A and B are shown apart, each in its own frame.
Chain A
Amino acid sequence: MKVENDKLKSTKEAKVTTLRKELDRLNRENDKLKEHKTLSETERRRLSRLEHQAEVNTQKRMEEIKKLVLKGQTLDLAFLVDATGSMQVYSLTVLKEKCNQHE
C-alpha cells in the first residue's frame, strides 16, 4: 500500500514538474511575443514618421515647382524708342518709301 502511494506521489510530482516546465515555456513564449509586439509598434511608428516626412518633402517640392512655373510665367517687356523730331513726320513718308522699295 505504501509502495503504491509512493508511486502515485512520484507520478504526481513528475506531472507537476512537467506542467511547471510547460508553464515556464509558455511564459517565455509569451514574453517573446510581447517583446515582438513592442518592436512592431516601434517599427510602425518609424514607418509612419518616414511616410509623414515623405509627404512633407513632396509638398515642399510641389511648392518649389509651383514657384518655378509661376516664375517662368513672368515677362518684362521694355521698349526703347527714338523720340527725336524725325519721328514726328507722317507715316505717309514711310509708306512711300516702302512702296518705292517694292517697285
Chain B
Amino acid sequence: MKCDASWTEFNILVDVDWLCCVQSIINMVKEQIKEMAAGVGKAYPDVKLRVAFVAYRDYEDDLVTERCEFTDHLSTFIKALSELHAIGGGDAGEDVFSGLQGIASLNWTSQNRLLFHIADAPCHGRRFHNGVSDEFPRGDMHGRRIEDLLSSLRTDCKITKYFFCHLNKSTERWCKSSRTLMLKLVIGFSTNSFPTSTKFHMLW
C-alpha cells in the first residue's frame, strides 16, 4: 500500500496482493481491508481515522445488507468484519444499489472521505454488464436509479474519492457506466482526465 498525503487531501493507492495464498476471496478481502485500515493509521498517526463497512447481497437474501457504522476503534471494526460471511446472491447480478444506499446512510463527518468498493459481480440491469445471468435485466426491482445514488454519495455524503476494485471482468462495464454517468452528472470532466489503476478504478 502506498500513501501520499498533503494537509487536507489523502491519496491512497492499494495494490491487492493476489498471490497472498489459497483462501476464499472474502477472507482475502477482509485481510486487505484490515491491513488498509491499520496501514492508514500507522502511516498517519496524527490522522483521526474512522472506519466503516457495508456489505450487500441480493434481493432474495435474508440479510440484504450488513453494516458497521463509522468507528474510531479499529478493534470494533475488525470484530464486525470478522463476523461477515459470504452467502446467498442467487444470480450473477447483485443488489449493489442497497449497498450504495447503506453507504449513503453512514454518518460521514470527516473532512476527507474515501470509499472502497470491492465486488466480483455487477448490479442488476442489462446496461451494467455484458450478459451475466441476471433475473432483473431491466434494472433495479425497486426502481432506484444509479444516477441518484451516486449523485447522493458525491453531493450529500461529500465522499472525496470512490475507488472500485475489480475482482474479475464482469464488473468492468458497471464501473465504466457508473463512472461516465458520474462524470457527466456531477463533475462534468472528461473521463480521460482521471488516472486509472488496473485493479482499483477511481469513479471520481
* Shortest Cβ gap from B132 to chain A (Å): 11
Instruction: Count how many pairs of residues, one from A and one from B, have CB atoms less than 8 Å apart in the complex.
Output: 170
> Which residue of A71, A78, A88 is within 8 Å of B54 (Cβ)?
A78
Interface residue total, chain B, C-beta cutoff 8 A: 66
1/0 per residue, CB under 8 A from A, across B30-51: the answer is: 0001001100100010111111
A5 on interface, CB distance cutoff 8 Å: no
Q: Complex formed: what's the CA distance from A81 to B108 in Å?
A: 18
A95 near B18 (CB under 8 angstroms)?
yes
Which positions 4-43 of chain B face chain A at CB distance < 8 Å? 7-8, 10, 18-26, 28-29, 33, 36-37, 40
1/0 per residue, CB under 8 A from B, across A80-94: the answer is: 111111111111101
Tell which of B82-90, B135-143, B179-187, B188-196 binds the partner: B82-90
Chain B contacts for A3, CB-based, 8 A: none
Which positions 37-85 of chain B face chain A at CB distance < 8 Å? 37, 40, 44, 46-58, 61, 66, 70, 84-85
Chain B contacts for A75, CB-based, 8 A: 10, 40, 44, 47-50, 110-114
Instruction: Using A74-B112, A75-B40 as known contacts, say yes or no to A82 and B119 having CB atoms under 8 A apart.
Output: yes
A6 on interface, CB distance cutoff 8 Å: no
Residue in A78, A81, A86, A98 whose Cβ sees the most chain B Cβ within 10 Å: A78
- Interfacial residues, chain A to chain B (CB-CB below 8 A): 69-92, 94-95, 97-98
Can you list 18 residue pairs at the A/B interface with Cβ under 8 Å?
A71-B111, A72-B111, A73-B46, A74-B112, A75-B49, A75-B111, A77-B116, A78-B108, A80-B115, A81-B33, A81-B54, A85-B86, A86-B120, A88-B24, A89-B25, A91-B21, A94-B168, A98-B18
Other A-B contacts than A78-B51, A79-B116, A92-B22, 12 sampled, CB-CB below 8 A, are: A74-B47, A74-B49, A74-B111, A76-B109, A79-B33, A81-B33, A82-B56, A82-B99, A83-B66, A84-B121, A86-B121, A88-B26
Return the 4 tightest CB-CB contacts between A and B, nearest first: A84-B89, A82-B119, A74-B110, A83-B55
